[in-house]
Structure 1
Amino acid sequence: MKFSEQLVAAGQPILNEIYKHPFVDGIGNGQLPKQALTFYVGQDFNYLNAFIKVYAAAIQKSATRADMTIFAKQIDFILNSEIHPHHNFCNVAGVKYETLQHEAQAPGTYLYNEHMYNAARTGDLIDIVSAMTPCPWTYLEIANRFVKQGKNSDDNVFKPWIDFYANMADDGESVLSQLFDLIDREAPKYDQHHLDVVKEEFLKSCELEWDFWDQAYYQKSWQFVEPMKQYH
Protein backbone atom coordinates (compact mmCIF):
# COMPACT_ATOMS: atom_id res chain seq x y z
CA MET A 1 0.00 0.00 0.00
CA LYS A 2 1.33 3.42 -0.95
CA PHE A 3 1.98 5.80 1.91
CA SER A 4 -0.67 8.20 0.58
CA GLU A 5 -3.16 5.32 0.64
CA GLN A 6 -2.24 4.70 4.26
CA LEU A 7 -3.00 8.34 5.02
CA VAL A 8 -6.37 8.16 3.28
CA ALA A 9 -7.27 4.94 5.10
CA ALA A 10 -6.31 6.48 8.44
CA GLY A 11 -8.30 9.63 7.70
CA GLN A 12 -11.43 7.88 6.41
CA PRO A 13 -13.17 7.63 9.82
CA ILE A 14 -12.80 11.41 10.24
CA LEU A 15 -14.08 12.01 6.71
CA ASN A 16 -17.10 9.86 7.53
CA GLU A 17 -17.85 12.16 10.47
CA ILE A 18 -17.41 15.22 8.23
CA TYR A 19 -20.05 13.80 5.88
CA LYS A 20 -22.49 13.72 8.79
CA HIS A 21 -21.79 17.22 10.07
CA PRO A 22 -24.89 19.49 9.96
CA PHE A 23 -23.05 22.18 7.98
CA VAL A 24 -21.96 19.72 5.31
CA ASP A 25 -25.38 18.07 5.36
CA GLY A 26 -26.90 21.53 4.92
CA ILE A 27 -24.91 22.10 1.74
CA GLY A 28 -26.35 18.88 0.33
CA ASN A 29 -29.88 19.80 1.38
CA GLY A 30 -29.66 23.43 0.31
CA GLN A 31 -30.47 24.84 3.73
CA LEU A 32 -28.08 26.63 6.08
CA PRO A 33 -28.45 29.56 8.48
CA LYS A 34 -27.16 32.90 7.23
CA GLN A 35 -24.97 33.24 10.33
CA ALA A 36 -23.23 29.94 9.60
CA LEU A 37 -22.55 30.90 5.98
CA THR A 38 -21.12 34.32 6.79
CA PHE A 39 -19.02 32.99 9.66
CA TYR A 40 -17.62 30.29 7.38
CA VAL A 41 -16.72 32.73 4.60
CA GLY A 42 -15.02 35.16 6.96
CA GLN A 43 -12.94 32.42 8.51
CA ASP A 44 -12.19 30.62 5.25
CA PHE A 45 -10.91 33.85 3.72
CA ASN A 46 -8.57 34.01 6.71
CA TYR A 47 -7.58 30.37 6.37
CA LEU A 48 -6.91 30.57 2.64
CA ASN A 49 -4.62 33.56 3.18
CA ALA A 50 -2.54 31.30 5.41
CA PHE A 51 -2.82 28.48 2.88
CA ILE A 52 -1.26 30.70 0.21
CA LYS A 53 1.66 31.55 2.49
CA VAL A 54 2.28 27.89 3.33
CA TYR A 55 2.21 27.01 -0.38
CA ALA A 56 4.87 29.71 -0.80
CA ALA A 57 6.91 27.97 1.91
CA ALA A 58 6.53 24.72 -0.03
CA ILE A 59 8.01 26.45 -3.06
CA GLN A 60 11.02 27.44 -0.95
CA LYS A 61 11.55 23.80 0.00
CA SER A 62 11.02 22.43 -3.52
CA ALA A 63 14.04 21.08 -5.35
CA THR A 64 12.56 21.15 -8.86
CA ARG A 65 10.59 23.58 -10.96
CA ALA A 66 8.01 20.86 -11.56
CA ASP A 67 7.19 20.87 -7.84
CA MET A 68 7.30 24.67 -7.74
CA THR A 69 4.77 24.76 -10.55
CA ILE A 70 2.30 22.62 -8.58
CA PHE A 71 2.30 25.07 -5.69
CA ALA A 72 2.40 28.17 -7.89
CA LYS A 73 -0.71 26.97 -9.72
CA GLN A 74 -2.46 26.37 -6.42
CA ILE A 75 -1.65 29.88 -5.24
CA ASP A 76 -3.19 31.20 -8.46
CA PHE A 77 -6.22 28.91 -7.98
CA ILE A 78 -6.89 30.24 -4.50
CA LEU A 79 -6.41 33.88 -5.50
CA ASN A 80 -8.46 33.79 -8.68
CA SER A 81 -10.80 30.78 -8.62
CA GLU A 82 -11.67 29.79 -5.06
CA ILE A 83 -13.54 33.05 -4.63
CA HIS A 84 -16.44 31.46 -6.55
CA PRO A 85 -17.69 29.12 -3.79
CA HIS A 86 -17.35 32.03 -1.35
CA HIS A 87 -19.54 34.12 -3.64
CA ASN A 88 -22.10 31.29 -3.69
CA PHE A 89 -22.36 31.31 0.10
CA CYS A 90 -22.48 35.13 0.17
CA ASN A 91 -25.22 35.28 -2.47
CA VAL A 92 -27.34 32.80 -0.52
CA ALA A 93 -26.74 34.74 2.70
CA GLY A 94 -27.48 38.05 0.99
CA VAL A 95 -24.22 39.76 1.94
CA LYS A 96 -21.33 41.28 -0.01
CA TYR A 97 -18.16 39.22 -0.05
CA GLU A 98 -16.01 42.27 0.64
CA THR A 99 -17.68 42.80 4.02
CA LEU A 100 -16.37 39.43 5.28
CA GLN A 101 -12.71 39.83 4.36
CA HIS A 102 -11.51 41.47 7.57
CA GLU A 103 -12.73 39.09 10.25
CA ALA A 104 -10.45 38.25 13.19
CA GLN A 105 -9.33 34.64 13.35
CA ALA A 106 -11.64 32.47 15.42
CA PRO A 107 -9.95 29.88 17.68
CA GLY A 108 -10.33 26.98 15.24
CA THR A 109 -8.96 29.03 12.36
CA TYR A 110 -6.02 30.18 14.46
CA LEU A 111 -5.23 26.59 15.46
CA TYR A 112 -5.48 25.27 11.92
CA ASN A 113 -3.32 28.06 10.51
CA GLU A 114 -0.68 27.56 13.19
CA HIS A 115 -0.68 23.81 12.52
CA MET A 116 0.17 24.50 8.87
CA TYR A 117 2.69 27.20 9.72
CA ASN A 118 4.41 24.82 12.12
CA ALA A 119 4.76 22.21 9.38
CA ALA A 120 6.35 24.88 7.20
CA ARG A 121 8.66 26.12 9.96
CA THR A 122 9.88 22.81 11.29
CA GLY A 123 9.20 20.20 8.61
CA ASP A 124 10.35 19.12 5.19
CA LEU A 125 8.33 19.24 1.99
CA ILE A 126 6.49 16.01 2.88
CA ASP A 127 5.39 17.52 6.21
CA ILE A 128 4.01 20.64 4.55
CA VAL A 129 2.12 18.74 1.87
CA SER A 130 0.69 16.22 4.33
CA ALA A 131 -0.62 19.00 6.56
CA MET A 132 -2.26 20.76 3.61
CA THR A 133 -3.68 17.83 1.62
CA PRO A 134 -6.71 17.05 3.84
CA CYS A 135 -8.34 20.31 2.72
CA PRO A 136 -8.54 19.49 -1.01
CA TRP A 137 -9.03 15.78 -0.26
CA THR A 138 -12.07 16.21 2.00
CA TYR A 139 -13.66 18.91 -0.19
CA LEU A 140 -13.33 16.81 -3.33
CA GLU A 141 -14.77 13.78 -1.54
CA ILE A 142 -17.68 15.80 -0.15
CA ALA A 143 -18.53 17.28 -3.54
CA ASN A 144 -18.22 13.97 -5.39
CA ARG A 145 -20.46 12.30 -2.82
CA PHE A 146 -23.09 14.98 -3.34
CA VAL A 147 -22.89 14.57 -7.12
CA LYS A 148 -23.38 10.81 -6.82
CA GLN A 149 -26.39 11.47 -4.58
CA GLY A 150 -27.84 13.94 -7.09
CA LYS A 151 -27.56 16.80 -4.59
CA ASN A 152 -26.24 19.20 -7.23
CA SER A 153 -29.69 19.61 -8.74
CA ASP A 154 -30.82 22.99 -10.07
CA ASP A 155 -33.08 23.55 -7.08
CA ASN A 156 -30.17 23.36 -4.61
CA VAL A 157 -28.92 26.88 -3.91
CA PHE A 158 -25.47 25.39 -3.21
CA LYS A 159 -25.19 23.70 -6.60
CA PRO A 160 -22.38 26.13 -7.64
CA TRP A 161 -20.38 25.16 -4.52
CA ILE A 162 -20.83 21.44 -5.16
CA ASP A 163 -20.00 21.69 -8.86
CA PHE A 164 -16.95 23.84 -8.22
CA TYR A 165 -15.26 21.33 -5.93
CA ALA A 166 -16.47 18.27 -7.83
CA ASN A 167 -14.90 19.68 -10.98
CA MET A 168 -11.47 20.17 -9.40
CA ALA A 169 -10.42 16.76 -10.77
CA ASP A 170 -11.56 17.45 -14.34
CA ASP A 171 -8.54 19.37 -15.59
CA GLY A 172 -6.23 16.51 -16.48
CA GLU A 173 -4.19 15.41 -13.49
CA SER A 174 -5.86 16.83 -10.42
CA VAL A 175 -3.89 18.74 -7.82
CA LEU A 176 -4.89 16.11 -5.29
CA SER A 177 -3.26 13.31 -7.26
CA GLN A 178 -0.17 15.50 -7.71
CA LEU A 179 0.05 16.08 -3.97
CA PHE A 180 -0.40 12.40 -3.16
CA ASP A 181 2.21 11.49 -5.79
CA LEU A 182 4.62 13.93 -4.19
CA ILE A 183 4.02 12.38 -0.78
CA ASP A 184 4.64 8.88 -2.19
CA ARG A 185 7.82 10.07 -3.89
CA GLU A 186 9.19 11.63 -0.72
CA ALA A 187 8.11 8.95 1.76
CA PRO A 188 10.92 6.41 1.04
CA LYS A 189 13.48 9.02 2.15
CA TYR A 190 12.32 8.81 5.78
CA ASP A 191 12.35 6.31 8.61
CA GLN A 192 9.18 5.04 10.24
CA HIS A 193 9.35 7.55 13.08
CA HIS A 194 9.24 10.49 10.68
CA LEU A 195 6.47 8.87 8.65
CA ASP A 196 4.45 8.46 11.84
CA VAL A 197 4.88 12.19 12.46
CA VAL A 198 3.72 12.90 8.91
CA LYS A 199 0.66 10.70 9.41
CA GLU A 200 -0.15 12.55 12.61
CA GLU A 201 0.13 15.87 10.78
CA PHE A 202 -2.29 14.61 8.15
CA LEU A 203 -4.79 13.34 10.73
CA LYS A 204 -4.63 16.55 12.74
CA SER A 205 -5.55 18.47 9.61
CA CYS A 206 -8.43 16.05 8.99
CA GLU A 207 -9.78 16.74 12.46
CA LEU A 208 -9.24 20.47 12.01
CA GLU A 209 -11.32 20.24 8.82
CA TRP A 210 -14.18 18.79 10.89
CA ASP A 211 -13.65 21.48 13.50
CA PHE A 212 -13.74 24.21 10.85
CA TRP A 213 -17.23 23.15 9.79
CA ASP A 214 -18.31 22.90 13.42
CA GLN A 215 -16.88 26.30 14.27
CA ALA A 216 -18.82 27.93 11.44
CA TYR A 217 -22.09 26.15 12.10
CA TYR A 218 -22.14 27.17 15.75
CA GLN A 219 -20.20 30.45 15.27
CA LYS A 220 -17.58 29.56 17.85
CA SER A 221 -15.49 32.58 18.76
CA TRP A 222 -13.12 33.34 21.62
CA GLN A 223 -14.74 32.93 25.02
CA PHE A 224 -13.37 36.26 26.24
CA VAL A 225 -13.52 38.16 22.98
CA GLU A 226 -14.42 41.60 24.40
CA PRO A 227 -10.97 42.37 25.91
CA MET A 228 -9.36 41.44 22.57
CA LYS A 229 -11.44 43.78 20.41
CA GLN A 230 -9.36 46.85 21.28
CA TYR A 231 -6.31 45.16 19.77
CA HIS A 232 -7.96 44.07 16.50
Structure 2
Amino acid sequence: MFIESVKKEAEVIIEQIYQDDFIQGVIRGDIDKEAIRHYLQADSRYLNEFAKIYALLIPKLNDDEDVRFLLEQIDFVMNGEVSAHYTMADYVGEAYQDIIKNGAWYPSSDHYIKHMYYNAYHYSDASFTICAMAPCPYVYQQLALKITERHDLTGNPLKDWVDFYTKNMDELMHHLDRWVDDFAQRATDEEKEILRKNFLESCVHERNFFQMSVDQEKWSFEGEQYV
Protein backbone atom coordinates (compact mmCIF):
# COMPACT_ATOMS: atom_id res chain seq x y z
CA MET A 1 0.00 0.00 0.00
CA PHE A 2 1.11 3.56 -0.69
CA ILE A 3 1.21 4.81 2.88
CA GLU A 4 3.26 1.83 4.06
CA SER A 5 5.97 2.62 1.52
CA VAL A 6 6.11 6.21 2.80
CA LYS A 7 6.29 5.02 6.40
CA LYS A 8 9.29 2.87 5.51
CA GLU A 9 11.04 5.97 4.20
CA ALA A 10 10.14 7.82 7.41
CA GLU A 11 11.71 5.19 9.64
CA VAL A 12 15.18 6.73 9.46
CA ILE A 13 13.80 10.10 10.61
CA ILE A 14 11.88 8.51 13.48
CA GLU A 15 15.01 6.68 14.62
CA GLN A 16 16.87 10.00 14.57
CA ILE A 17 14.16 11.53 16.77
CA TYR A 18 14.48 8.54 19.12
CA GLN A 19 18.23 9.11 19.41
CA ASP A 20 17.89 12.88 19.92
CA ASP A 21 18.17 14.54 23.31
CA PHE A 22 14.46 14.97 24.05
CA ILE A 23 13.44 11.32 23.78
CA GLN A 24 16.65 10.09 25.37
CA GLY A 25 15.92 12.38 28.31
CA VAL A 26 12.42 10.92 28.55
CA ILE A 27 13.88 7.40 28.53
CA ARG A 28 16.29 8.25 31.35
CA GLY A 29 13.57 10.12 33.23
CA ASP A 30 15.84 13.09 33.75
CA ILE A 31 14.99 15.44 30.88
CA ASP A 32 15.45 19.08 31.75
CA LYS A 33 12.26 20.54 33.18
CA GLU A 34 12.70 23.70 31.16
CA ALA A 35 12.61 21.61 27.99
CA ILE A 36 9.34 20.06 29.13
CA ARG A 37 7.90 23.47 30.03
CA HIS A 38 8.84 24.84 26.59
CA TYR A 39 7.38 21.75 24.92
CA LEU A 40 4.06 22.04 26.77
CA GLN A 41 3.75 25.75 26.01
CA ALA A 42 4.25 25.08 22.32
CA ASP A 43 2.25 21.86 22.09
CA SER A 44 -0.83 23.27 23.80
CA ARG A 45 -1.10 25.84 21.00
CA TYR A 46 -0.18 23.32 18.33
CA LEU A 47 -2.96 20.92 19.35
CA ASN A 48 -5.50 23.73 19.35
CA GLU A 49 -4.62 24.48 15.72
CA PHE A 50 -4.47 20.77 14.90
CA ALA A 51 -8.11 20.45 15.98
CA LYS A 52 -9.07 23.41 13.80
CA ILE A 53 -7.42 21.78 10.79
CA TYR A 54 -9.42 18.62 11.43
CA ALA A 55 -12.52 20.82 11.24
CA LEU A 56 -11.39 22.15 7.86
CA LEU A 57 -11.35 18.60 6.51
CA ILE A 58 -14.98 17.84 7.35
CA PRO A 59 -16.42 19.49 4.18
CA LYS A 60 -13.95 17.44 2.11
CA LEU A 61 -15.33 14.10 3.33
CA ASN A 62 -18.50 12.51 1.96
CA ASP A 63 -18.96 9.54 4.29
CA ASP A 64 -20.98 10.22 7.45
CA GLU A 65 -18.93 7.75 9.47
CA ASP A 66 -15.72 9.52 8.47
CA VAL A 67 -17.21 12.86 9.52
CA ARG A 68 -18.25 11.42 12.89
CA PHE A 69 -14.77 10.04 13.40
CA LEU A 70 -13.20 13.43 12.71
CA LEU A 71 -15.54 15.05 15.21
CA GLU A 72 -14.44 12.48 17.78
CA GLN A 73 -10.82 13.24 17.00
CA ILE A 74 -11.37 16.95 17.51
CA ASP A 75 -12.70 16.16 20.99
CA PHE A 76 -9.77 13.79 21.62
CA VAL A 77 -7.20 16.39 20.64
CA MET A 78 -8.85 19.09 22.75
CA ASN A 79 -9.68 16.97 25.79
CA GLY A 80 -8.20 13.47 25.65
CA GLU A 81 -4.58 14.07 24.74
CA VAL A 82 -4.23 16.62 27.51
CA SER A 83 -3.87 13.71 29.95
CA ALA A 84 -0.42 13.06 28.47
CA HIS A 85 0.39 16.72 29.09
CA TYR A 86 -0.66 16.41 32.72
CA THR A 87 1.96 13.67 33.17
CA MET A 88 4.62 16.07 31.94
CA ALA A 89 3.30 18.91 34.09
CA ASP A 90 3.50 16.65 37.14
CA TYR A 91 7.12 15.94 36.22
CA VAL A 92 7.82 19.67 36.10
CA GLY A 93 6.02 20.09 39.42
CA GLU A 94 3.64 22.81 38.28
CA ALA A 95 -0.03 22.96 37.37
CA TYR A 96 -0.54 22.38 33.65
CA GLN A 97 -2.66 25.51 33.19
CA ASP A 98 0.01 27.62 34.88
CA ILE A 99 2.66 26.29 32.51
CA ILE A 100 0.73 26.85 29.29
CA LYS A 101 -0.70 30.29 30.11
CA ASN A 102 2.50 31.77 28.68
CA GLY A 103 2.45 29.48 25.66
CA ALA A 104 3.98 30.86 22.52
CA TRP A 105 4.55 30.26 18.84
CA TYR A 106 8.20 29.42 18.37
CA PRO A 107 9.81 29.30 14.92
CA SER A 108 9.75 25.52 14.45
CA SER A 109 6.18 25.07 15.65
CA ASP A 110 5.07 28.03 13.54
CA HIS A 111 6.63 26.50 10.42
CA TYR A 112 5.04 23.12 11.14
CA ILE A 113 1.48 24.35 11.63
CA LYS A 114 1.65 26.55 8.52
CA HIS A 115 2.73 23.50 6.52
CA MET A 116 -0.54 21.83 7.50
CA TYR A 117 -2.70 24.91 6.97
CA TYR A 118 -1.23 25.39 3.49
CA ASN A 119 -2.33 21.91 2.46
CA ALA A 120 -5.75 22.33 4.05
CA TYR A 121 -6.46 25.47 2.04
CA HIS A 122 -4.57 24.68 -1.16
CA TYR A 123 -5.90 21.22 -2.05
CA SER A 124 -9.49 20.07 -2.41
CA ASP A 125 -8.86 16.47 -1.39
CA ALA A 126 -8.36 15.82 2.31
CA SER A 127 -5.50 13.37 1.67
CA PHE A 128 -2.95 16.12 1.08
CA THR A 129 -3.67 17.59 4.50
CA ILE A 130 -3.90 14.18 6.14
CA CYS A 131 -0.41 13.32 4.89
CA ALA A 132 0.82 16.51 6.54
CA MET A 133 -1.06 15.71 9.78
CA ALA A 134 -0.62 11.94 10.09
CA PRO A 135 3.06 12.04 11.12
CA CYS A 136 2.05 13.69 14.38
CA PRO A 137 0.22 10.65 15.83
CA TYR A 138 2.36 8.20 13.86
CA VAL A 139 5.72 9.50 15.10
CA TYR A 140 4.50 9.55 18.70
CA GLN A 141 3.14 6.02 18.37
CA GLN A 142 6.36 4.70 16.87
CA LEU A 143 8.56 6.43 19.42
CA ALA A 144 6.47 5.05 22.27
CA LEU A 145 6.65 1.54 20.81
CA LYS A 146 10.41 1.79 20.40
CA ILE A 147 10.82 2.96 23.98
CA THR A 148 8.67 0.20 25.46
CA GLU A 149 10.37 -2.46 23.33
CA ARG A 150 13.88 -1.35 24.28
CA HIS A 151 13.52 -0.15 27.88
CA ASP A 152 11.87 -0.99 31.17
CA LEU A 153 10.34 2.27 32.35
CA THR A 154 9.33 1.00 35.78
CA GLY A 155 9.75 3.93 38.15
CA ASN A 156 10.23 6.42 35.32
CA PRO A 157 8.18 9.58 36.08
CA LEU A 158 7.28 9.92 32.38
CA LYS A 159 6.14 6.33 31.88
CA ASP A 160 2.47 7.34 31.63
CA TRP A 161 3.33 9.76 28.81
CA VAL A 162 4.91 6.92 26.84
CA ASP A 163 2.08 4.51 27.67
CA PHE A 164 -0.51 6.99 26.41
CA TYR A 165 0.91 6.91 22.91
CA THR A 166 1.35 3.14 22.79
CA LYS A 167 -2.36 2.67 23.54
CA ASN A 168 -4.29 5.46 21.82
CA MET A 169 -3.08 5.81 18.23
CA ASP A 170 -4.07 2.58 16.46
CA GLU A 171 -7.64 3.45 15.46
CA LEU A 172 -6.65 6.93 14.32
CA MET A 173 -3.81 5.63 12.17
CA HIS A 174 -6.13 3.02 10.63
CA HIS A 175 -8.52 5.75 9.45
CA LEU A 176 -5.80 8.11 8.23
CA ASP A 177 -3.99 5.35 6.34
CA ARG A 178 -7.21 4.20 4.69
CA TRP A 179 -8.10 7.71 3.51
CA VAL A 180 -4.68 8.23 1.97
CA ASP A 181 -4.48 4.79 0.35
CA ASP A 182 -7.96 5.18 -1.16
CA PHE A 183 -6.97 8.49 -2.72
CA ALA A 184 -3.56 7.19 -3.83
CA GLN A 185 -5.25 4.52 -5.96
CA ARG A 186 -6.65 7.23 -8.24
CA ALA A 187 -3.97 9.87 -7.78
CA THR A 188 -1.48 10.84 -10.45
CA ASP A 189 2.24 10.26 -9.92
CA GLU A 190 2.65 13.98 -9.29
CA GLU A 191 -0.06 13.95 -6.64
CA LYS A 192 1.45 10.91 -4.94
CA GLU A 193 4.80 12.67 -4.79
CA ILE A 194 3.15 15.61 -3.01
CA LEU A 195 1.56 13.20 -0.52
CA ARG A 196 4.93 11.54 0.06
CA LYS A 197 6.74 14.84 0.59
CA ASN A 198 4.03 16.14 2.90
CA PHE A 199 4.39 13.10 5.14
CA LEU A 200 8.19 13.11 5.21
CA GLU A 201 8.39 16.87 5.71
CA SER A 202 6.09 16.61 8.71
CA CYS A 203 8.31 13.90 10.18
CA VAL A 204 11.17 16.39 9.97
CA HIS A 205 8.93 19.03 11.55
CA GLU A 206 8.27 16.60 14.41
CA ARG A 207 12.00 16.22 14.95
CA ASN A 208 12.47 19.98 14.94
CA PHE A 209 9.56 20.41 17.37
CA PHE A 210 11.21 18.22 20.00
CA GLN A 211 14.62 19.78 19.45
CA MET A 212 13.31 23.34 19.74
CA SER A 213 12.26 22.53 23.30
CA VAL A 214 15.70 21.23 24.18
CA ASP A 215 17.25 24.35 22.61
CA GLN A 216 14.66 26.69 24.22
CA GLU A 217 14.05 28.13 20.78
CA LYS A 218 12.58 31.63 20.52
CA TRP A 219 12.18 34.24 17.83
CA SER A 220 15.08 36.67 17.58
CA PHE A 221 15.00 40.00 15.75
CA GLU A 222 18.00 42.31 15.79
CA GLY A 223 19.36 40.74 18.93
CA GLU A 224 16.06 40.82 20.82
CA GLN A 225 13.98 37.73 21.53
CA TYR A 226 10.26 37.66 21.04
CA VAL A 227 7.68 34.98 21.83
Measure the CA separation in 1 of the matches of 2:176 and 2:126.
Answer: 11
**2:168 counterpart SS class:** helix
TM-score (norm 2): 0.94
Q: Contact between 2:85 and 2:96, CA under 8 Å: does it hold in 1?
A: yes
Q: Which residue of 2 aligns with 1:86?
A: 85
Deviation (angstroms), 1:178: 1.4
1:28 offset after TM fit, Å?
A: 1.2
**Cross-structure match for 1:106:** 106
TM score, norm. by length of structure 1: 0.92
Task: Label 1:193 to 1:221 Cα distance change in 2 as closer, same or farther (>3 A).
Answer: same
State whether residues 218 and 225 of structure 2, in contact with CA within 8 Å, keep that contact through their aligned partners in structure 1: no
Counterpart-to-counterpart distance in 1, 2:140 and 2:152: 15
Contact 1:46 1:101 in 2 (8 A): no
- Write the letter of the residue equivalent to 1:44: D
Moved over 3 A (4+): 225-229
State how 1:34-45 maps to structure 2 within 5 Å. 34-45=33-44
1:209 counterpart = 2:206? yes
Give the aligned CA root-mean-square deviation in angstroms: 1.6
Unmatched tracts of structure 1, length 5 or more: none
Letter in 2 for 1:139: Y
Same amino acid, percent of matched pairs: 28
Q: Does 1:195 align with 2:192?
A: yes
8 Å Cα contact 1:28-1:151 kept in structure 2? no
Paired residues in the alignment total 225
Match of 2:135 in 1: 134
Cα distance change of structure 1 residues 72 and 225 upon mapping to structure 2, 3 Å threshold: farther
**Cα distance change of structure 1 residues 177 and 152 upon mapping to structure 2, 3 Å threshold:** farther
The one of 167, 171, 174 aligned to 1:174: 171
Deviation string for 1:148-168 (max 9, x for gaps)?
123331x10001101111111
Q: Please show how residues 145-160 of structure 1 align to structure 2 within 5 Å.
A: 145-153=146-154, 155-160=155-160
